[in-house]
Amino acid sequence: MFEVRQTGDDRVLLVGKLDASQVQAARDVLGQLKKSCIVDFGELEYISSAGLGVLLGAQKRLGEAGASLKLVNMNRHIREIFRMAGFDHIFEIE
Amino acid sequence: MEKKYKRDFDELNSIYEATNRFLEEEKIGESVAWSINLAIEELFTNMVKYNTGAGHPILIRMSIKDGRLQIQMIDEDVDPFDPSEVPEIKLDEPIDERQIGGLGLHLVKSIVDKITYEYKNRQMKVTMIKELKR
């Protein structure tokens, strides 16, 4: 199960497991963001390279407009995957 | 544990369930289980994405012996794949130059202690070893 909830004007909440089977659901929301946004990982249990790819695409696209994503509330496993992927240099993580 | 899965991303939940059940029975901790789920997903999705000509199911086999978790994934009637041809990703590259290709394999190599590929008679067998520190 995976879900993206818009929880505010500039905030989205990721819920569940973001794997290769759920990429389109993530892209439908993250790919449409037009301004800087906080992505809350508080209810995300799991992410794989497929999900990392969606986030990278969104960050690149927003970066061209001078905007960015800020990622918050990651569990320790997801934080470790971001570190392994070198994504801790690409995103602001809090 | 040994089971065949259709070449479909929708099989991932069944794979996680079987993997977690096996690892729980073997009293393997949640951190190891999390990373093993990821390693299996990355290889499974690569097999589904890149071995598109094959219609055969993918076999996943898991066992523990002498403190080592061994996971084998076997794909039938596929073209050879040489992982050494996948370029190493550069973790310090600026965002504009970062590509997602090769990232899954990089994560797998970071998670497991050993990964080997055998190709014979159009069968690809990938074996991952994870040393268990109990």
Q: Look at chain B and count its residues.
A: 134
Q: Structure pTM?
A: 0.94
Beta bridge partners of B45: none
| Cβ pairs bridging A and B (under 8 Å) | 65
Q: Architecture of domain B2-131 in CATH? A: 2-Layer Sandwich (3.30)
CA–CA gap between residue A41 and residue A44 (Å, rounded): 5
Asked if A52 is an interface residue toward chain B (Cβ–Cβ < 8 A), one would say yes
Within 10 Å of residue A28's Cβ, how many Cβ atoms? 11
What pLDDT does residue B126 have? 95
Interchain contact, A60 vs B95, CB within 8 Å: yes
**Helices B12-25, B30-50: crossing angle, 10 deg rounding:** 150
Q: Are the beta carbons of B96 and A60 closer than 8 angstroms?
A: yes
- Tens digits of per-residue pLDDT, A40-71? 999 999 999 999 999 999 999 999 999 999 99
**Shortest Cα–Cα distance, B10 to chain A (Å):** 6
Beta bridge partners of A47: A18
Q: Which residue shows structure tokens 């097999």? A: B47
What residue ranges do the domains of chain B occupy? 2-131
What pLDDT does residue B96 have? 84
Q: Interface pTM (ipTM) of the complex? A: 0.93
Domain A2-93: which topology?
Transcription Regulator spoIIAA (3.30.750)
Residue-by-residue pLDDT tens, chain B, 134 positions: 999 999 999 999 999 999 999 999 999 999 999 999 999 999 999 999 987 766 899 999 999 999 999 999 999 999 888 777 777 888 888 888 888 888 999 999 999 999 999 999 999 999 999 999 75
What pLDDT does residue B115 have? 94
Smallest Cβ distance to A21: which of B9, B96, B107? Answer: B9
Residue type, B31: S
